[in-house]
């Protein structure tokens, strides 16, 4: 029992961290709203499926092509939509949310519904850990989540682009005086965030079927993890992912799985009431409340 909770809690947390990372990169770190995130997530799932099954390209190549496409999609969203409403936070939210709605419902219209829309697992089979059989795909999710979390931390804190992301969120005018072009960095941030969404989708979606509703849930989960962890914090995402992931697993084990989504919502509400900047957020601590 304990082993099950530890392992599945860890995998659940890994899923949350993976899902939230791209959203955090765009919305948390660089302060660019991207509420089309859920749509981009399922878009990459369906795109890979189309490359794989309709066009008959091999799996690795279609994954690569999906990365390229989502990167471009993110860049285009910034270039043609967000750039024009930059700075008006409500308009940013509205425009990206409207776009996300359009993308997701387009898939529903073209009838992308059903069991056949699922991606193949990377390696079939399972391995016993603490007496539980864990399939390889879930192990891969855990490993990739840990690897990306570490890489993400170093990227945000030590690379030039990562530092520029944080710079434009703090003060884009000052960033400009130091030779950082906020528009270019914003576009890169959205493009990279979108490819991270694609990465999460490709790793996680083989566990089930791809459905349009997934997009909405992913957005809520990503938002919950980012808010609880604190906007602008890369450590916060990991901690919040672990906390919410384990609480969800405990809830599913001791109550019922349908309470799981309530955990992320309640955690978000609670953190916003008590400490709105999140567990690890520092940037906005003075701005958020009167």
Binding site for another protein (CB under 8 A): 81, 84-85, 88-91, 93-95, 97-103, 105-106, 108-109, 220, 223, 227, 256, 258-259, 261-262, 265-266, 268-269, 272-273, 276, 287-290
Q: Which of 21, 19, 28 is nearest to 248 (CA)?
A: 19
With 0-12 / 13-18 / 19 or more C-beta atoms within 10 angstroms meaning exposed / middle / buried, residue 68 is exposed
User: Smallest distance, Å, CB 264 to another protein?
Assistant: 9
User: Smallest distance, Å, CB 182 to another protein?
Assistant: 18
User: Smallest distance, Å, CB 11 to another protein?
Assistant: 23
CA distances from 121 to 44, 112, 124, 178 (A): 16, 20, 6, 46
User: Smallest distance, Å, CB 104 to another protein?
Assistant: 9
Residues 165 and 156: beta-carbon distance below 8 Å: yes
- Alpha-carbon distance of 65 to 186, in angstroms, equals 23
> Of 238 and 267, which CB lies nearer to another protein in the complex structure?
267
> Of 88 and 129, which CB lies nearer to another protein in the complex structure?
88
Q: Which of 236, 225, 279 is nearest to 37 (CA)?
A: 225
With 0-12 / 13-18 / 19 or more C-beta atoms within 10 angstroms meaning exposed / middle / buried, residue 123 is exposed
> Of 99 and 188, which CB lies nearer to another protein in the complex structure?
99
> Of 100 and 162, which CB lies nearer to another protein in the complex structure?
100
> Of 124 and 256, which CB lies nearer to another protein in the complex structure?
256
> Of 50 and 106, which CB lies nearer to another protein in the complex structure?
106
User: Smallest distance, Å, CB 132 to another protein?
Assistant: 27
Residue 34 φ/ψ, nearest 5 degrees: -140, 85
> Of 105 and 171, which CB lies nearer to another protein in the complex structure?
105
User: Smallest distance, Å, CB 222 to another protein?
Assistant: 13
Alpha helices of 114-259 — where are they, by DSSP H?
A: 136-158, 160-170, 172-177, 182-204, 212-229, 234-254
User: Smallest distance, Å, CB 135 to another protein?
Assistant: 29
User: Smallest distance, Å, CB 56 to another protein?
Assistant: 28
With 0-12 / 13-18 / 19 or more C-beta atoms within 10 angstroms meaning exposed / middle / buried, residue 128 is exposed
Residues 183 and 80: beta-carbon distance below 8 Å: no
> Of 17 and 227, which CB lies nearer to another protein in the complex structure?
227
- Alpha-carbon distance of 18 to 16, in angstroms, equals 5
């Amino acid at each position: 029992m304990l082993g099950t909770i530890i392992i599945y809690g860890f995998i659940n947390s890994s899923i949350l961290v993976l899902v939230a990372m791209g959203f955090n990169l765009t919305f948390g770190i660089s302060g660019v709203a991207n509420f089309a995130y859920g749509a981009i997530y399922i878009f990459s799932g369906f795109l890979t499926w189309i490359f794989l099954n309709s066009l008959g390209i091999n799996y690795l190549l279609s994954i690569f092509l999906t990365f390229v496409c989502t990167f471009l999609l993110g860049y285009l969203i910034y270039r043609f939509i967000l750039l024009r409403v930059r700075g008006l936070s409500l308009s940013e939210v509205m425009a990206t949310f409207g776009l996300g709605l359009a993308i997701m419902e387009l898939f529903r219209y073209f009838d992308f519904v059903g069991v056949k829309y699922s991606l193949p697992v990377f390696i079939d089979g399972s391995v016993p850990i603490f007496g539980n059989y864990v399939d390889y795909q879930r192990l891969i999710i855990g490993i990739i989540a840990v690897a990306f979390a570490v890489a993400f931390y170093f990227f945000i804190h030590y690379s030039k682009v990562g530092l520029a992301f944080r710079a434009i969120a703090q003060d884009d005018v000052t960033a400009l005086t130091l030779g950082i072009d906020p528009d270019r960095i914003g576009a890169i941030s959205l493009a990279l965030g979108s490819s991270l969404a694609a990465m999460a989708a490709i790793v996680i979606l083989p566990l089930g079927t791809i459905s349009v509703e997934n997009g909405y849930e992913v957005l809520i989960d990503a938002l919950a993890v980012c808010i609880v962890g604190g906007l602008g914090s890369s450590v916060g995402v990991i901690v919040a992912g672990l906390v919410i992931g384990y609480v969800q697993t405990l809830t599913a084990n001791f109550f019922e799985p349908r309470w799981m989504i309530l955990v992320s919502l309640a955690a978000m509400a609670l953190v916003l009431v008590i400490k709105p900047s999140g567990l690890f957020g520092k940037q906005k601590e003075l701005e958020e409340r009167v």
